[in-house]
Amino acid sequence: MTPRALDGVRVIDFSTTVAGAWCSRLLADFGAEVVLAEPPAGHPLRQLAPFDHAGASIPAAYFLANKRSVTLDLDSEAGRGVFRGLAARCDVLVSSAAPSWLATRGLEYGSFGRADLVMAHATEHGMAGALAETPGNDLTTAARSGWAALNGLLSREPLKPSGWQSSMCTGVAAWAAVLAALWRRGEHAGEGQEVDVAAVDVMASTFAPAVLRTLYGGETLRRRAEVDMLSGPVPVRDGHFALTISRAHFWRDAMHILGLEDLAADPRWEAGHYRASHKDEYVGRVEEAMRGWTRHDLFQELAARRVIAGPVLEMAELAANEHLQARGFWAQLDDGEAPATFPGAPFKMTRTPWELSGRAPAPGRAAEDGR
């Protein structure tokens, strides 16, 4: 069996959110033994649409894969007793509960009496602060972190990032923090610690350049009035295409390909600041020229000249994408049930690789050895 980076690490995940589930899924993907401590009604993700032909949640199939499960009622003394028994033999706890929820059940970090325990909290607003008890989701995080303020068009309402991007970014941050805590524990005689990851903090930190422009540049950023080739993908014959012209040679080569020789030859357009301040003089012409191309043909021509550009791929096109296939990105799981295809590793490791070893467990399907 190929060794994996987190072999031997035991994790109990009693979170109920995408962020917590994604954190523990990443831990499991790299070798940790992860057991879900699900409520009697099952993990909330199991009720999350869309559903497959059998009525099972597709998001749950993805986020809960590579794990095992035990159902526990943490509102009961008996359930908490079993949970404490499991926690006594684990290395990491993953939680998404508010401070008061943990306190009323005696499940705070200090209550476990273990100096070597790592406990990661992945919540919307963190375990301290005025909003620590306030629930939230990806929509409210987008609003509070500043993302919605700049996402979308000025003439329309603010938008959150698509899907569960805030939750997944939070899960990645929690995963990285757990790895750092485990490393510290290994280097300092079993010294555990509590990890507090707030989705609002995570998303605000990824938005730092925009915030800093406001703090130090006095510039109030707003949503764009419109999207043009300088700010987003524009239409071509069979979809949309993103063209980057941040460098002088990108500009010249792209204009040659598009048949706009006068724009390629004029040295004024080689300066990025000049192009930005005089875009009304050429944007319409360039976009009109791009409409005559297909995504594939335009990409091939630009890529041959090392101009940074990219076609906008639809969801149905990703599975057949040659580059992703060449990298072995798609993971196939065939364990006697219906074959399943999952997005693969976020990165590759030569000695301790990512692995998809099992689909989402049925509620209560614990480890075979009873741990």
Query: In this predicted structure, what is the pLDDT of residue 367?
Result: 43
Calculate mean pLDDT across residues 70-99. Answer: 97
338 or 152: which carries more pLDDT confidence?
152
Give the residues across from 243 on adjacent strands: 309
In tens, the pLDDT along 9-22 reads 999 999 999 999 99
Give the residues across from 245 on adjacent strands: none
CA dihedral 205, 211, 216, 219 (to 10 degrees): 170
Band of pLDDT at residue 341, cut at 50, 70 and 90 = confident
Tell which CATH architecture fits domain 234-311: 2-Layer Sandwich (3.30)
Query: In this predicted structure, what is the pLDDT of residue 8?
Result: 95
Q: Which of 208-212, 293-297, 355-359 has the lowest mean pLDDT?
A: 208-212
Query: In this predicted structure, what is the pLDDT of residue 228?
Result: 85
Q: Which of 86-90, 137-141, 144-148, 330-334 has the lowest mean pLDDT?
A: 330-334
DSSP three-state, residue 251: helix
- In angstroms, the CA 74 to CA 69 distance is 14
User: Is pLDDT above 80 for 329?
Assistant: yes
In tens, the pLDDT along 17-39 reads 999 999 999 999 999 999 999 99
What CATH superfamily is the domain 10-207+328-342? Answer: Crotonobetainyl-coa:carnitine coa-transferase; domain 1 (3.40.50.10540)
Q: What is the mean pLDDT of the chain?
A: 92
DSSP assignment of 94-143: EE---HHHHHHTT-SGGGG--TT-EEEEEESS-SSSTTTT----HHHHHH
Q: Which two tokens stand for residue 104?
A: 């009323």
- Of the candidates 295, 287, 290, which has an alpha carbon nearest to the alpha carbon of residue 238? 295
User: Is pLDDT above 60 for 351?
Assistant: yes
In tens, the pLDDT along 229-281 reads 888 899 999 999 999 888 899 999 999 999 999 999 999 998 989 998 999 99
Query: In this predicted structure, what is the pLDDT of residue 371?
Result: 39
Q: Would the pTM of this model clear 0.85, i.e. be above it?
A: yes
Which positions ≥6 away from 120 have C-beta within 8 Å? 23, 92, 93, 94, 95, 174, 177, 178, 181, 195, 197
Please report, for the chain, the start and end positions of each structural domain, with discontinuous segments joined by +.
10-207+328-342, 234-311
